[in-house]
Structure 1
Amino acid sequence: MNWLNDTAFAVLGQPVKWTDMVGNLLGLAALALGWRRSMWTWPVQLLSAVVLVAAYLSGHLAGLVGKQGIVVAAAVWGWYQWQRGRRSSGDIAVRFATGRERALLVGATALATVGLAELFLAVPELSWSPWADAYIFVGTLAAMYAQARGWVEFWFAWIAVDIVGVPLAFTSGYTFSGLTYVIYFVLVLLGLRAWWLRTRTPRAVGTAVLQGATA
């Protein structure tokens, strides 16, 4: 399977690996499915993460590898959460997080980022970009947790992750990943709008909200 890490073509003078291309295209599909609140978003995210792990391992990008590892675990958990929510209500309900939930998410993300960055600094072999890798690793976990809970804030979390992830992808030679994130950004804005409007749509009495799902 060595061909997976071979160059498919070049973009702006930079080689694009098959794994980089296929993994990111699957990621785009998963994001679009998430926008539509389709259950398929989770298995497609999982497959995208597995392919991208192979791509980033060859580049020794610990943070990006860790990010995809988190995506695999979170995709399995999120799939379960959405199935549970759909069984109880017949739909995937979305909402804004409460002030307390939002504060806890932001606080936990900040603390975990600092803690992981300190680990990377203490063990240089784990990461070439300790703070960026820690930010991406923890931010991805926060985003997928919010998605699994049906929180609109998950779209804002992805924007925050991409602000660092896009430059890192370009400087690390993963040009296709960086260009793909431009499309990601458009899909994120569309998804944010769709979920935001969904929270303003009245639901039938008895429709359960994912806030009742346990972590």
Structure 2
Amino acid sequence: MTWTEIAGFVTGALCVWLVVKRNIWNFPVGIANYIFFFVLFIGAGLYADAGLQVVYFGLALYGWYSWLRGGEDHTALKVHNPTLPQFLACLAAVGAIWAAIQFGLHRYTDSTVAGWDAITTALSLVAQFMLSRKWIANWWLWIAADLIYIPLYAVKGLWLTAGLYGIFLTMCIVGLMEWRTARAKMLAAENPAT
């Protein structure tokens, strides 16, 4: 266990809790988390996950703006569902990103877990984009990624990080339920029964 793993644990748990609560401060806390995990993953040979932290950084900046000004007339973005074509495009993006990253890891690195590293990276990238748009379906991709991340980090000996992703998994399930409830309440308030 290193200081970067501990710092990643603390900032990661706080970030996801803030996301569950739909709190805008998840983005600056997330940026700190991405820096800690970038350093950790480079040291563990999880190169795709390290690269993912760089992309997360950019997506966090986009999400921060989007949550504040991405709604109608540049207002705050509300929790909502993607359209079916948007969701299918996201799933197609997961497949394309997975294939590209796996190819790159096999060809250019000494990764021993290229396929698993690639699929978790692909799921996480698309989930982070979906989160930036405040789409409820982001939680399903995070759940799928966490179910793979937990044993992957355990195999790499990153026990604290594996435990953190166990916590993330639980928080994702809570987040899914809370965001669905928030959406239902918002719709009920917009369309009261007559």
Deviations 1:150-188 (A, max 9, x none): 100111111111121111111111100011112111211
Name the amino acid aligned to 1:122.
R
Q: Given the alignment of the two structures, is residue 54 of structure 1 paired with residue 39 of structure 2, yes or no?
A: yes
Q: What is the SS of the residue equivalent to 2:23? A: coil
Structure 2 counterpart of 1:27, from 1, 12, 26? 12
User: 1:134 aligned to 102, 106, 118, which one?
Assistant: 118
Q: Distance in 1 between matches of 2:131 and 2:65?
A: 12
**Aligned-pair CA distance for 1:60:** 2.0
Q: Residue 132 of structure 2: which of 131, 145, 148 is its match?
A: 148
Which structure's residues are more often strand, by fraction? 1
- Structure 1 residue 188 corresponds to structure 2 residue 172: yes
Report the TM-score when normalising by structure 2.
Answer: 0.90
1:90 and 1:37 map into 2 onto residues whose CA distance is: 15
Change (3 A) 1:86 1:30: farther
Q: Is the deviation greater in 148-157 or in 53-62?
A: 53-62
Letter matched to residue 105 of structure 1: C
CA distance in 2, matches of 1:117, 1:190: 31
Aligned amino acid, residue 95 of structure 1: H
Does the 8 Å CA contact 1:45/1:75 hold for their aligned counterparts?
A: yes
Counterpart of 1:175 in structure 2 is 159
Say which structure is richer in helix.
2
Summarize deviations over 1:93-122 as a string: whole Å, max 9, x none. 011111111111001111221122122222
Report if the CA contact (8 A) 2:20-2:179 is conserved: yes
Given candidates 134, 148, 153, the residue that maps to 1:164 is 148
SS of aligned partner of 2:70 = helix
1:146 partner SS: helix
Which residue type is aligned with residue 160 of structure 1? A
User: 149-158 vs 56-65, which deviates more?
Assistant: 56-65
How many residues align structurally?
Answer: 189
Q: Is the 8 A contact 2:68 2:76 kept in 1?
A: no
The secondary structure found in structure 2 opposite 1:201 is: helix
Q: CA RMSD in A?
A: 1.8
Structure 2 gap ranges (5+): none
